[in-house]
Chain A
Amino acid sequence: MLEPVQLDVLTELINIGIGRATSMLNQMVQLDIRLDVPSIRILTAQELRQEADAYGDDIFSIVRLGFEGCFHGTAQLVLPATSATHLVAAVTGEEPDSPDVSALRGATLNEIGNILLNGVMGSLVNSLQGHLDFALPEYLEDTAPRTLVPGTSQNDEMVLFARARFATEDGRIDGQLIVLFEAESTQTLIDSIDNITPDSMAG
């Protein structure tokens, strides 16, 4: 299990990444997007499934970035369909119901998601001094449970589930940033955290 200190460190690391990602995004598009402080929990695969089920059967626009290396998992931007449409319209300057928006939303969302996820993961990689291989980001429209839960995980396996809310002031865009560290990597992650934490703090 994560010690409170470890949890704090991880939260801080992800928070730093989010900060960077937000400034990148805001720099690129004239949008005031806020990312909340993430909540981080260790869940069993079953608990994760329950967590995923809570999203229901709605179709979401999802940008997913897989990673491997010293630890593996996925980083995902999860947006309800209307939020996705508004986000695309906001960054491209097109009207939400324009056919162009519809045609290009995949590529556009992919890049936005990529920026955010890069920001978070790049920061993590740098801080934890570990090497990670990233898959190419992919854009999906699917239900949350199917994309959130790794197909291979067993019920009693543990995952680290980090989630941050991602929203504009006016509430028209409201999504989530989720980073999932899978079973084997969880311990590695904890170790990595311990490595950068002074002994006294690690307790």
Chain B
Amino acid sequence: MDLDALIEERFAVLDRVPVGTCVLDPDYIVRHWNRRFESWTGIPRADIQGKRITEFVPSLDDPKYTDRLKIIFAGGPPAMFSSLLHKHVIPAPLKDGTMRIQDTTVSPIPTPEGEGFWALLVAEDVTDLSRRVQDYREMRDRAVGVVRERERAEGLLTRSEKQFRGLFESATVFIHLLDTEGRIQQSNPAAIQGTGYTREELLGRHITDTLSPQCREAFMTQLPFLLKGETRRREMEVLCRDGKAITVDCAASPIRGDDEEVSSIVVIQRNITAQKRAEEELHRAIELARAANEAKSEFLANMSHEIRTPMNAIIGMTDLVLGTDLDPTQREYLNMALSAGESLLRVINDILDFSKIEAGKLELDPIEFNIRQPFKDTLNVLLVKAQAKGIRLSAQIPDDVPEELIGDPGRLRQILTNLIGNAIKFTEEGSVDVEVSVLKQAAGRLELQIAVKDTGIGIPPEVQKSVFEAFAQADGSTTRRFGGTGLGLTISGKLVEMMGGRIWVESQPGQGSTFYFTCKFQTPGHALSAPEVLWDCEGARILIVDGDARRRATTCEWVANWDMEPIGVGTRPTAMIALEEALRVERPFGAVLVSHPMAGLDGFLLAEQVKEHPQLTDTTVVLLTAAGNPGDARRARDLGISAYLTKAHEEAILIRGLLQSLAAGPNPRRLITRHTLREGHGHHRILLLSDSKAERARTHRLLDCFGYAVKALEADPRALDTVGDQEQHDLIILDIRSRCPGGAAAVRALGERGLRLGRPVRILALVSASRLEEGQLLIEPDVDEFHERPSRSRDLLTLVDQAITPSDQSKTA
């Protein structure tokens, strides 16, 4: 057999394998080329066998193949040629040009002759296998990814579970995990320790079994809301195993399962028993303090009544005695008593005001009033003190400040009295000046700034702020040196605040202080009309109710002097009987004058009784009191009382108030007070010269009360020196009781003064009956009118009225 046949026979089997096979000898001659290679490459066996393979596949000449084939031909280990590395099919590209993935193995095979080795190339198409491997790998990678992700998640879950378990175990609050019916599934150690139950006792038990009876229902009410996914929190009471109750702040929240449904409920309870107890104790303490404070307020209110009632009596009676004939020593002593009584009453009022401020009970009592009046009143009162120290005292109210305002004149007066009083107190020489200016004026509103300037000792900067604090004075020594409660500025500050303003001080030690305050008022829509006065009061029946017989008699006398018919009674029941009786006989009283409070008579109570009586409700009630209490005016207005008159033990005030009340009729729009009496007057200025101090004061008050602007001086030519040249008067009244020569001198001085100023003034001379003849001789020739002094106020007023307006005979005030 020749070699070719031998080869043919030997390699015939290779035509039957599904891989490409090729056999090369060491000279690269193709010894065999199987059918698969024929079909893959399109190179027929007949063409390639016996030829060098490099003629068909030149790349095989590359050393990277030849080097390795050399080993094969030497019988060395088989070689692998991968299609990826070599980028083409070995030994040739496929016929259709496609790139297949092909593994080619080259192995040595013994030559047919048995000497040396040939190389058997086996090319395997592994495209499909490779694709399957690829698919498998992707699948495997995906599976691995999923597994790893799950493992990671589980790891996280485990960690998170551990964390939560740690939290649950170590929390100091009680934590219970409940099923949806409220049964305990888990309880943390704090809950077990805190309630005293064992874990076994708690598990499976309904949560309400651990709650106090009143909380059980509360929890069951919450349960449906929890199951709906809401959170609930409230205070609950937990019952411990030993029966002890613990107050807890209990928060319950639903926990949702994977299906988003509420699967369990977590209840967190924080023990707040101690906190609760502290709160209760605090409440109790506050309650005690409040009760104590209320007791204090009540005590002070009682004190107010208990102290003020006798004080009013002391002052009122002293004043009454001063109106009688006294020798100078008696008068001096009584004046001292009166002054001391008034000081004491002021102190008492300060303390009461302060306690009211503390209790928040201080209220303003707004009425329509003339802004100039409180200034005038205050200055009038304090002028004496200022003059005694040789200090000038003045007040400037510019014309742009409206006359009529709505506010609390009493409280304004209180502030002014305090600030001006202080200024005088702390000033040794120089002046105290009060300046008023308009800060803001808008429709219906007015804001004023008031400055009280002194040239006194001043206030060190470091204590300027504290002067408005209670019980504080510039230094402790001032109290001893200057007296006072130290409450004045505190009260003033509070009052200013209530009036919508503020108060402050500017001061240099040694150079004086200026206290400023602002306050807001309303302006009335209408001008204040001059109050009507019923002059034709003759025959009016007036019921005078006063527990004090002597004063009752005095009042009756004053009323009778005005040709009215007084009927006096001493008690509330008799007053009611008198009133009803008058109705029965159809001679009703024009007015009831009620004294309050005096000798057990509560005027307000009687007023209330009268006003509530169906047939007496239109009775004009005038309340009289020696010294008023703050808040009384409001009470009086609420009851429908016509007038509330303080210092009503003076005839002028009492009668003027009564006449005004009679004119206004029952249930007037405005309450008549001592301050409103003077409103709308002061147009006629009178210079009153009198040689009796007491009479001068009484006449002054009478004229003042009936609307005249009065300046009262001693009937002495020297006194005239105090009258400034710029002052103008419409009338000069010369009231002479003692010897007439003094009066004559005064008249001459007045005449000279009139001549000097080129402004002669009408002079009305009044002389007592005993001096009439002497007067006629000495005085009458030099005066415009000369009269015997009338004993009745009414007649005096008539004289004055005629003298001042000789052409107009109508009686106006």
Contact = CB atoms under 8 A, between A and B. Distances in A.
Q: Do A and B come from one complex?
A: yes
Interface of A: 24, 27-29, 65, 67, 91-92, 99-100, 102-104, 106-108, 110-112, 114-115, 117-118, 121-122, 125-126, 131-132, 134, 136-137
Nearest to B67: A24
A114 B79 contact: yes
Given A24-B67, A107-B83, A67 B77 contact: yes
Interface of B: 63-64, 67-68, 71, 74-85, 101, 103, 105, 107, 126, 130-131, 133-134, 137
Contact of A107 (B63, B74, B84): B84
Q: Which of A27, A99, A104 has the most CB of B within 10 A?
A: A104
A30 to B, nearest CB: 12
A27 B63 contact: yes
A122 B71 contact: yes
Contact of B82 (A67, A111, A118, A122): A111
A112 B82 CA distance: 9
Contacts of A112: 85
B63 A111 contact: no
A107 B77 contact: no
Q: Which 4 A-B residue pairings sit nearest by Cβ, starting from the closest?
A: A107-B82, A134-B77, A104-B84, A103-B134
Contacts of A29: 85
A27 B67 CA distance: 11
B426 to A, nearest CB: 98
A105 to B, nearest CB: 9
Given A91-B85, A117-B77, 8 more contacts: A29-B85, A102-B134, A103-B101, A108-B82, A111-B80, A112-B85, A121-B77, A125-B76
Contacts of A117: 77
Given A27-B64, A102-B137, A103-B133, A110 B71 contact: no
Contacts, number: 83
Given A28-B85, A108-B82, A134-B78, A115 B133 contact: no
A112 B64 CA distance: 12
Contacts of B126: 107
Contact of A65 (B77, B84, B130): B77
A100 B84 contact: yes
B85 A92 contact: yes
B133 A106 contact: yes
Contacts of A118: 68, 71, 76-77, 79
A144 B309 CA distance: 117
A104 B82 contact: yes
Contacts of A122: 71, 74, 76-77
A137 B80 contact: yes
Q: Which of B67, B71, B107 has the most CB of A within 10 A?
A: B71
A104 B130 contact: yes
A103 B131 contact: yes
Contact of B103 (A67, A103, A110): A110
A139 B101 CA distance: 16
A177 to B, nearest CB: 14
Q: Which of A29, A99, A107 has the most CB of B within 10 A?
A: A107
A28 B101 contact: no
B599 to A, nearest CB: 116
A136 B78 contact: yes
A110 B80 contact: yes
A100 to B, nearest CB: 7
18 contacts: A24-B68, A92-B84, A102-B134, A103-B131, A103-B134, A107-B80, A107-B101, A107-B103, A108-B85, A111-B79, A111-B80, A114-B77, A114-B78, A122-B77, A132-B77, A134-B77, A136-B105, A136-B107
Q: Which of B77, B83, B84, B85 has the most CB of A within 10 A?
A: B77
A108 B84 CA distance: 7
A125 B80 CA distance: 19
Contact of B78 (A24, A108, A137): A137
A155 B721 CA distance: 148
Contacts of B81: 111
A110 B77 CA distance: 13
B25 to A, nearest CB: 20
A41 to B, nearest CB: 24
A139 B802 CA distance: 147
